[in-house]
Amino acid sequence: MAIILGAGIIVKLVLLLLLSFSIVSWTIILFKFFQVQRAKSESERFMDFFWKSKRFDAIASQVDRFTNSPLTVLFNEGYSELKKVVETDSKSTGSALSTDLGGVENVSRALRRATNSEITRLEKYLTFLATTGSTSPFIGLFGTVWGIMTAFEGIGKTGSASLAVVAPGIAEALIATAIGLVAAIPAVMAYNHFQHKIRVLINEMDSFTTEFLNIVQRNIAGK
C-alpha cells in the first residue's frame, strides 16, 4: 500500500483502471458460474423428465420447473412451432400432420433460432473476460514503463544511481505489471473454463434438437 500510495499520478490511474477491470471481471465470473451451473443442473433434470414423459403437452405444462435450462427454451420454441404446423395443416387438409407444408423444416428452423439465442445468452459478457485477460498485462506494462521513465528522470535530477535512489522508483513501476497480471490471470482461466462448459451445453442442445426432430418425424411417418 505504501508503494501504491507513493506512486505517480499516471501509475495510480493505471492501477485504478486495472482494479476496475478486476472488479468487473470477478462480478462476471461469479454471475456466469451460477448461471452455467444452474443451466447444467436443470438441463440434466429436464432431460430425465423429458424421457420419462410420454406426451409433449404434459412436458409443456411442467417446463416452468426448469426455467434456467436452455433445453426448455428449445422445447418451447419447437413445440410452439409444431402446434402451429398441426393447426394449419388440420385446417387445410383435415389430417393431423403432413410434410407437405414443410412442418419438420419449420420446427427445425425454430430450434436453430432458439439454439442461437441461447448460445448468445450463455456467452454474454465473456468477451469482457477475454478483453481483460489480453489487455491487462499490457496496461500494467504501460504503467511500469512510465514508472521506470519517472525513476530515471529522478536519477538524472539527483545525479545519483545508488540502490537507495533507484529501488523505490523501480518497485513503484513494477507494481503496475503485478496488478495487471492479477487482473488478467483469473479472467483468462475463467474465460477458458466457461467456454468449455458452454460447449458442453451447446452439444446438449444439438443432441436435444436431433432427438426432438426424430420424434416429430416418427410421428409424421405414423400419420
Distance CA 33, CA 40 (A): 11
Question: Quick check: 175 and 131 in contact, CB under 8 A?
Answer: no
Distance CA 15, CA 172 (A): 11
77-to-8, 31, 69, 116, 212 alpha-carbon distances in Å: 57, 26, 13, 12, 11
Whether residue 186 lies inside any domain: the answer is yes
pLDDT top residue among 105 and 199 = 199
- Opening angle at CA 96, ends 92 and 99, nearest 5: 75
Which residue range is the domain that position 171 belongs to?
Answer: 2-44+101-221
**In the structure grid, which three cell numbers stand for residue 207, read together?**
443432441
Overall number of domains in the chain: 1
155-to-8, 15, 162, 170 alpha-carbon distances in Å: 15, 24, 9, 11
Whether residue 209 lies inside any domain: the answer is yes
The predicted model gives 161-172 an average pLDDT of 67
Question: Average pLDDT, whole number, for the chain?
Answer: 84
Whether residue 89 lies inside any domain: the answer is no
Whether residue 173 lies inside any domain: the answer is yes
Neighbours of 161 (CB within 10 A): 10
Residue 95 has pLDDT above 50, yes or no: no
Question: Quick check: 72 and 201 in contact, CB under 8 A?
Answer: no
Distance CA 21, CA 148 (A): 23
The reported pTM is: 0.81
Whether residue 198 lies inside any domain: the answer is yes
Q: What is the pLDDT of residue 172?
A: 75
Whether residue 141 lies inside any domain: the answer is yes
Whether residue 107 lies inside any domain: the answer is yes
Dihedral sign (CA 45, 51, 53, 56): positive
pLDDT above 90 covers a percentage of the chain that reads: 46
Dihedral sign (CA 60, 65, 71, 76): positive
Q: What is the pLDDT of residue 164?
A: 61
The predicted model gives 132-150 an average pLDDT of 88
The predicted model gives 49-73 an average pLDDT of 88
Distance CA 188, CA 85 (A): 45
Mean pLDDT highest for which of 114-123, 158-167, 209-218? Answer: 114-123
Whether residue 82 lies inside any domain: the answer is no
Distance CA 145, CA 140 (A): 9
